[in-house]
């Protein structure tokens, strides 16, 4: 025991007063009755450090007056008790799991866990190029909080991997035509049935890219946004409508689309935001957005998937429609390998050989005939900035 500030004072003396502190915080400064926190010497008080260190700093004349006698001393005893910090159960969040790299189930000081995304469908987000092992490693700190060395308390984000189907279509020199697609060939394919059958493609884990005219057709009067459902994850319409409906929260039609202009397909693009994010898997994966003009080189082979009607129900007449740089065509005047009724809103998918990913370069707008001739597509690259802006809101 030692006495602190037994002599009354109105100010701390020139000699630095006793001080209790941790590495980053002063817990108390004591010098005389008037300068102590409560106007009295500290007496018996507890001082708690969040870390494993606590520091007592003081100056002494090595004596103590007691009953008129000077008692000299050169030391003291400090009694302390460490309190084990528990960070609690690590957070379990969608699309990722964690494993202990220290003792299983122990969440106390210096315990470590490693978060991992559900590969190959999700990948951990990183702006600085750090690996998943670095970004996903969290340690229980002395403050009782799980922390990562790079981002602190912020939890890792697992983002959808786009354009990498587990069972990709075997590439041939033809569009899919009337050939039946296998489950997982086009895992981004969506089915809509708003004003008749239509298509779309999954972007991320809660957005559908489609054609504006499947929502507000050219031959219909303008209406408010109908109640919509989107069907995903199947190649059979009956299975889709029974098992995989996803309500739509918001409909966004490009401002350049004019429903009343029957011969113009400018801005024929729309986004549907789903009410809830979908869980990705081998039969449900998003497609990528284009990022360069080389994906539109002449002669490049693309694939169109959809639930189109394989019958001759569309006029062969080439109408006097308005074309622009925002539309491209693909197909052949002789071979039966083009889009058909019900394919509208689906995407023209091209494999980007540089990174081996599938990219939505176009959206089915209209075609000449059914399954033959040329198909006309909205150029997605021209609208990428708009798409990203709307998806970020």
- The total of other beta-carbon atoms located within 10 Å of residue 66's CB is 9
pLDDT at 221: 67
* Tokens of residue 352, six digits: 């980007």
Alpha-carbon dihedral sign for residues 299, 373, 183, 180: negative
C-alpha–C-alpha distance, residues 364 and 269, integer Å: 10
182-228 confidence digits (pLDDT tens): 888 999 999 988 887 889 999 999 999 999 998 988 776 666 656 67
pLDDT at 243 over 80: no
Higher pLDDT, 240 or 18: 18
Q: Where are the beta strands (DSSP E) in 93-222?
A: 96-100, 112-117, 122-124, 137-140, 146-147, 158-160, 189-193, 197-203, 207-210
343-360 confidence digits (pLDDT tens): 788 999 999 999 999 999
* Tokens of residue 388, six digits: 């990203």
pLDDT at 50 over 50: yes
129-185 confidence digits (pLDDT tens): 777 778 899 999 988 999 999 889 999 889 999 999 998 887 654 444 556 778 889
SS (H, E, C) 18-42: CEEECCCCEEEECCHHHHCCCCCCC
Alpha-carbon dihedral sign for residues 305, 311, 317, 321: negative
pLDDT-derived band of residue 72, with 50, 70 and 90 as boundaries? low
pLDDT-derived band of residue 14, with 50, 70 and 90 as boundaries? low
C-alpha–C-alpha distance, residues 53 and 185, integer Å: 60
Where do we find the tokens 């708690």? 48
- The total of other beta-carbon atoms located within 10 Å of residue 226's CB is 11
Higher pLDDT, 154 or 367: 154
pLDDT at 67: 58
pLDDT at 1 over 60: no
pLDDT at 387: 98
8 Å CB contact between 306 and 339: yes
- For a pLDDT cut of 70, what percent of the chain falls above it? 69
C-alpha–C-alpha distance, residues 171 and 278, integer Å: 28
Q: Which of the given ranges, 19-33, 99-113, 194-208, 217-231, has the highest pLDDT on average?
A: 99-113
Q: What are phi and psi of 300, to 5 degrees?
A: -70, 135
pLDDT at 318 over 70: no
* Tokens of residue 290, six digits: 């284009």
pLDDT at 287: 98
Q: 0.75 cut: is pTM over it?
A: no
Q: How far apart are the first and last CA of the chain?
A: 63
Pick the closest to residue 199 from 258, 144, 159, 240 (CA basis).
Answer: 240
Higher pLDDT, 193 or 257: 257
pLDDT at 347: 93
pLDDT at 320: 45
pLDDT at 251 over 60: yes
Pick the closest to residue 303 from 203, 233, 199 (CA basis).
Answer: 199
Alpha-carbon dihedral sign for residues 375, 376, 380, 386: negative
8 Å CB contact between 230 and 190: yes
Higher pLDDT, 196 or 312: 196
pLDDT at 30 over 90: no
C-alpha–C-alpha distance, residues 349 and 328, integer Å: 13
Least confident of 19-33, 115-129, 257-271, 275-289: 19-33
Tell me the H-state helices in 44-154. Answer: 132-135
Same fold for the pair 96-160 and 189-392: no
- The total of other beta-carbon atoms located within 10 Å of residue 134's CB is 14
Q: How many CA atoms lie within 13 A of 334 on its CB side?
A: 0
266-311 confidence digits (pLDDT tens): 899 999 999 999 999 999 999 999 999 999 988 888 888 877 544 4
Higher pLDDT, 340 or 146: 146
Least confident of 40-49, 320-329, 334-343: 334-343
CATH architecture assignment, domain 96-160: Ribbon (2.10)
* Tokens of residue 155, six digits: 């939890």
* Helix (H) or strand (E) run with residue 328 in it: strand 327-332
Averaged pLDDT of the chain: 79
C-alpha–C-alpha distance, residues 310 and 336, integer Å: 11
Top CATH class of 189-392 equals: mainly beta
Mean pLDDT of the region 105-134: 89
pLDDT at 375: 78
Structural domain boundaries of the chain? 1-82, 96-160, 189-392
Pick the closest to residue 365 from 290, 289, 267 (CA basis).
Answer: 267
């Amino acid at each position: 025991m030692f006495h602190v500030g037994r002599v009354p004072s109105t100010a701390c003396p020139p000699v630095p007063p006793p001080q209790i502190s941790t590495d980053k915080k002063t817990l108390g400064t004591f010098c005389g009755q008037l300068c102590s926190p409560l106007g009295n010497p500290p007496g018996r008080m507890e001082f708690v450090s969040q870390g494993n260190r606590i520091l007592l700093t003081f100056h002494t004349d090595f004596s103590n007056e007691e009953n008129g006698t000077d008692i000299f001393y050169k030391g003291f005893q400090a009694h302390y008790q460490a309190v084990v910090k528990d960070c609690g159960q690590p957070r379990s969040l969608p699309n990722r799991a964690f494993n202990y790299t220290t003792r299983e189930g122990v969440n106390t000081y210096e315990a470590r866990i490693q978060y991992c995304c559900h590969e190959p469908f999700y990948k951990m987000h990183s702006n600085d190029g750090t690996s998943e092992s670095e970004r996903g490693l969290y340690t229980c700190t002395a403050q009782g909080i799980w922390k990562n060395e790079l981002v602190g308390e912020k939890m890792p984000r697992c983002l959808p991997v786009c354009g990498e189907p587990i069972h990709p279509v075997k590439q041939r020199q033809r569009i899919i035509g009337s050939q039946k697609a296998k489950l997982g060939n086009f895992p981004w394919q969506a089915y809509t049935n708003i004003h008749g059958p239509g298509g779309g493609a999954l972007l991320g884990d809660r957005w559908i890219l489609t054609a504006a005219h499947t929502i507000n057709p050219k031959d219909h009067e303008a209406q408010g946004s109908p109640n919509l459902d989107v069907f995903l994850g199947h190649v059979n319409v009956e299975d889709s409508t029974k098992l995989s409906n996803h309500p739509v929260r918001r409909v966004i039609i490009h401002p350049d689309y004019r429903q009343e202009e029957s011969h113009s397909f400018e801005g024929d693009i729309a986004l549907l935001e789903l009410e809830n994010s979908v869980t990705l898997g081998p039969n449900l994966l998003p497609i990528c957005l284009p990022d360069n003009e080389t994906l539109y080189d002449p002669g490049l082979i693309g694939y169109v998937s959809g639930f189109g009607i394989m019958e001759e129900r569309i006029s062969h007449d080439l109408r006097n429609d308005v074309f622009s740089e925002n539309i491209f065509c693909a197909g052949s005047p002789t071979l039966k390998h083009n889009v058909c009724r019900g394919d509208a809103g689906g995407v023209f998918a091209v494999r980007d050989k540089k990174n081996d990913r599938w990219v939505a370069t176009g959206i089915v707008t209209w075609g000449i005939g059914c399954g033959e001739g040329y198909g006309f597509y909205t150029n997605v690259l021209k609208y990428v900035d708009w798409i990203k802006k709307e998806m970020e809101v």
